[in-house]
Amino acid sequence: MSESSSTEKKNAYVVQDLEKENLDTGYSIDNVSRVETAAPDSQSDTHKSRWQNFKDSFKPVELEELDPNLTEAEKIAVATARSPLQRDLTPFAIQMISLGGAIGTGLFVGSGNSLRTGGPAGILIGYGISGTFIYTMIVAAGELAVTFPISGGIVTYPTRMVEESFGFALAFNYMFQWLVVLPLELVAASITVNYWGTPDRYRDGFVALFYLVVVCINLFGVKGYGMAECVFSMIKVTTVVGFIILGIILTCGGGPVKGYIGGKYFHALPLVGDTEGERFKGVMSVFVSAAFAFAGSELVGLAAAETKDPRRALPKAAKQTFWRITLFYMLSLLMVGLLVPYTNPRLIGSSSADATASPFVLAIETHGIKGLPSLINVVILISVLSVGNSAVFGCSRSLCAMAEQGFIPHWFRYIDRSGRPLVGIITTCTFGLLCFLAASPKEGLVFDWLYAIAGLSSLFTWFSIMLCHIRFRRALSAQNRSTDELSYLAPTGVWGSYYGCFIIFLVLVAQFWIAVWPTGTKPNANDFFQQYLSLPVVLFMYIVHKLWRRDWTIFIRAKDIDIDTGRRETDLEALKAELAEERAILAAKPIWYRVYKFWC
């Protein structure tokens, strides 16, 4: 079979399946016809019809069996391309999902640990460098997701662009990251309510309440998830903007505790440590907290399959989300460094999940403002719900995509007629019951170990996204295809992905040094695995898959990479003409407008 005929066959097969399923509603055509033609004659008939529709919504979407003549790689590509997930996410919801997943307890609480270990200058250096490769990652994910808005997205690309064992290891890494984040965030919620002196016997009640809210939101499907994230994100963004404004006022001496503060903490204690080696380790330790804090930025790539118009929604979301996150993070952390010394005893002596150690709370409390610290803690609880909500979304979609790739049992790919990956949602929420460990006196220790599992996972995910982008561009070149057929090009190009991969590699090397030789103590297994647990997990999964499949391929040859299956625009010539017209219109605009559109 020739390459062109194989491509036509796969695309025709996908189009045929999509025509047989109404993906906008999640119902098959037969079911839609039955609902529309059922004209109830009485109120009881109406009630029965609605109840029947509700019950039917949990039934699976029926898809035809894949053509047995397709290769294993082609079957995976077709299965992820025809996934019947709902396409209900709007451009605004996409932006809020990415923003909401990245502004959470990592910023409001985890930054306290970063301030303690890195100092006010170290926290800015760590988060600033992280922001540069986060941008290259987001735009690379945007280019891939716009071209291939398929089920699993960033979980699927490594298998297609690199090779199967790499995809298997990275898919498990990403799934496990979100699987751990749900109970981690709910444990954090339990610790957060301690700020108000909540008795221990009520902790399970708060955890159960938050758990129930997260589960209910995700049972409403992707539309309910998107609406909830819009609300959560707007609250968090408003809080961060308000804190920045308040921080400027307090720094200039305008608070109840009079006196100009300025940059005295930066001048006196910019970095932590007495030697250059200790100061370097302090700065590098910030990257783990930054990776956890920025986790979720890549969700735009995962949500592409459930977006109405990814070609127009994702590029804007990818670019604007970076600027919003960078401005919010850098400005708010600058205010934290100006207002809170890293020697504050409540930072040093507290668990990494202790809301009383949140530098946002300390910055307000230590400058004599009453009431607002409680408001900040309410926002921290909302952040817990938001990140927990994103965890269920990310993990359930990852489980579904992994099943479609044959990595886990096929029943994980169960998608009902409302477009919900039900088995994935149930599995994620079941694992989330670990949150009731909050009743244990060791809840802080539980949080720290869950945090260790999730800490570096994002770095491996981001590395894989940029590596897939590099391989995709290499495949275009090897197959004599042009970037003219791409409706969105990453502004930083392929060199931005090279830069991002290189910086992440350096960070991982530096983190290994810190994990083996921690500051202030002798080398020990406990500190090593709390700092570096993600790498052994990824290597283990990669080696297991290699031994299982006995496939020793390192990279799929660029000329063999499938760069067609999964595209929504199958007429490439018409797409090229449309893109050329859009670029001509943009070229006629003033230079300031072109620069703005390029970066924003």
On the question of pLDDT at 5 being above 60, the answer is no
pTM of the model: 0.84
Q: Say how far apart CA 485 and CA 481 lie, in whole Å.
A: 8
Answer with the residue of higher pLDDT: 538 or 271: 538
User: H or E segment at 248?
Assistant: helix 221-251
pLDDT band at 44 (very low <50, low <70, confident <90, very high): very low
C-alpha pair distances (Å), 398 with each of 312, 407, 437, 494: 24, 11, 25, 26
DSSP 8-state code for residue 257: S
pLDDT band at 462 (very low <50, low <70, confident <90, very high): very high
C-alpha pair distances (Å), 380 with each of 80, 142, 564: 36, 29, 43
Number of Cβ within a 10 Å radius of residue 119: 26
Residue 209 lies in a domain: yes
Name the percent of the chain lying above pLDDT 70: 78
Residue 281 lies in a domain: yes
Number of Cβ within a 10 Å radius of residue 332: 24
Mean pLDDT of the chain: 77
* Structural domains in the chain (count): 1
Query: What are phi and psi for residue 21, nearest 5 degrees?
Result: -125, 130
Q: Say how far apart CA 494 and CA 500 lie, in whole Å.
A: 10
Question: Is the distance from CB of 139 to CB of 496 less than 8 angstroms?
Answer: yes
Pull the structure tokens for residue 590: 């003033």
pLDDT at 115: 84
CATH code where residue 230 lies: 1.20.1740.10
Q: Say how far apart CA 116 and CA 285 lie, in whole Å.
A: 10
Lowest model confidence (mean pLDDT) among 39-43, 259-263, 334-338, 386-390: 39-43
Residue 48 lies in a domain: no
- Summarised one tens digit per residue, pLDDT across range 296-314 is 788 877 777 777 777 777 8
Q: Say how far apart CA 202 and CA 57 lie, in whole Å.
A: 36
Q: Where are the beta strands (DSSP E) in 429-530?
A: none
Pull the structure tokens for residue 428: 């994620």
Lowest model confidence (mean pLDDT) among 93-97, 153-157, 350-354, 481-485: 350-354
- Summarised one tens digit per residue, pLDDT across range 106-119 is 788 778 888 888 88
On the question of pLDDT at 8 being above 80, the answer is no
Domain that holds residue 460: 3-34+56-569
pLDDT at 354: 55
Residue 594 lies in a domain: no
- Summarised one tens digit per residue, pLDDT across range 220-248 is 877 888 888 888 888 888 888 899 999 89
Residue 210 lies in a domain: yes
DSSP 8-state code for residue 473: H
Q: Where are the beta strands (DSSP E) in 246-315?
A: none
When mean pLDDT is compared over 33-37, 43-47, 49-53, 117-121, the highest value belongs to: 117-121
C-alpha pair distances (Å), 45 with each of 41, 54, 390, 494: 7, 14, 38, 59
On the question of pLDDT at 22 being above 50, the answer is no
Answer with the residue of higher pLDDT: 569 or 38: 569
pLDDT at 12: 45
Let me know how many helices (H) and strands (E) the chain has, helices first. 26, 0
On the question of pLDDT at 30 being above 50, the answer is no
Residues near 472 by beta carbon (within 8 Å), at least 6 away in sequence: 143, 144, 147, 157, 161, 561, 563
Residue 50 lies in a domain: no
- Summarised one tens digit per residue, pLDDT across range 325-371 is 777 888 999 998 888 888 877 775 444 445 566 888 888 888 878 87
- Summarised one tens digit per residue, pLDDT across range 498-548 is 999 999 998 888 888 888 887 667 777 777 877 788 888 889 999 999 999
Residue 116 lies in a domain: yes
Residue 163 lies in a domain: yes
Between CA 319 and CA 328, with CA 324 as vertex, the angle to 5 degrees is 155
pLDDT at 351: 46
Collapsing DSSP states into helix, strand and coil, what is residue 307?
strand
